[in-house]
Amino acid sequence: MTEFLTAALYKFVDLPDCAALKAPLQACCEAHEVRGILLLAPEGINGTIAGPAEGVQAVLAYLRRDPRLNDLEHKASMARTQPFYRMRVRLKREIVAMGVPDVHPARMAGTYVKPADWNTLLADPELILIDTRNDYEVDLGSFRGAINPRIKRFADLPEWLRNQGLLDDLAGPKPKVAMFCTGGIRCEKSTAFLRQAGLEQVYHLEGGILKYLETVAPEHSLWEGECFVFDERVSVGHGLQAGSHELCRACRQPLNADAKASPLYAAGVSCPHCHGSKTPAQKMAAQERQRQMELARQRQQTHIGARLPAATKSAP
């Protein structure tokens, strides 16, 4: 059985010429039958790609030929099916959107803590542990004792931090804060934000949750639940094994077994999260899309997941 190599990668590095890098990178990925999404911005590169192992390795080698990316790291996992429908290289203002000017993770990120040392850090009773991910991600799983900010998007995190009083009275004793996210990119930027604001004892999990789940044995783990990932696997557990969640094709929310057993769930059409917000026109469009996908599956063809018409498309 053919397997596909998935590589998640990012690096904060100055790329003022990122616009000129877009087309050659897109061409390289397509030439090696690699799909996924890569974001380029003046502050660096971020994304996930998947394809035949030799193709993904060729794209990584191409990236690392740029001296600024020669130490680019990636997180690898295997999938039985191609987790992406197409390849997209996009230009962005930020590789992870925070919307706060003059935050420079390449120079100001907090102290890196390796997964092997993470449990020891978390044992500190004075530590404030913050999950920097979106609420639907945290709902699938998190570290024991972590604070869930209940944010809808990463750009909401700075305001939440300000509202908690963490940045007040920095002339006195400063709190000790640790942050984590899926692969490390969001906590690098959020710890840089805290350091820019004046905090000194700021830490983050090197390699993120994925590196922790990959390297820390379940019997020693402080992780509870599954970790949401931004591809067709939806979630992973220890050893980066595919989890038990599926994705609602209508609203993109992860679904567990209870949600899929709900009478409000219809594959490709609605789920308990979005059933009440869908108009009849939206449901009809989704039903037709699902029918086309089923036909493509029966014919052993690839369906690229065409978007719903703009007038009926649900909000992300």
Residues assigned a catalytic role: 181
Residue 297 to residue 279: CA distance in whole angstroms:
27
Torsion of CA 119, 120, 122, 128, to 10 degrees: -150
Residue 211 to residue 213: CA distance in whole angstroms:
6
The answer to whether 142 and 224 have CB atoms below 8 angstroms apart is: yes
Structure tokens at 88: 């997209």
Residue 209 to residue 144: CA distance in whole angstroms:
13
* Residues present in the chain in total: 316
The answer to whether 133 and 204 have CB atoms below 8 angstroms apart is: no
Residue 188 to residue 157: CA distance in whole angstroms:
13
- Beta pairing partners, 114: none
Element (H or E) spanning 78, and its range? Answer: strand 74-79
Structure tokens at 100: 């706060």
Taking CA 170 as the corner, what is the angle to CA 166 and CA 172, rounded to the nearest 5 degrees? 115
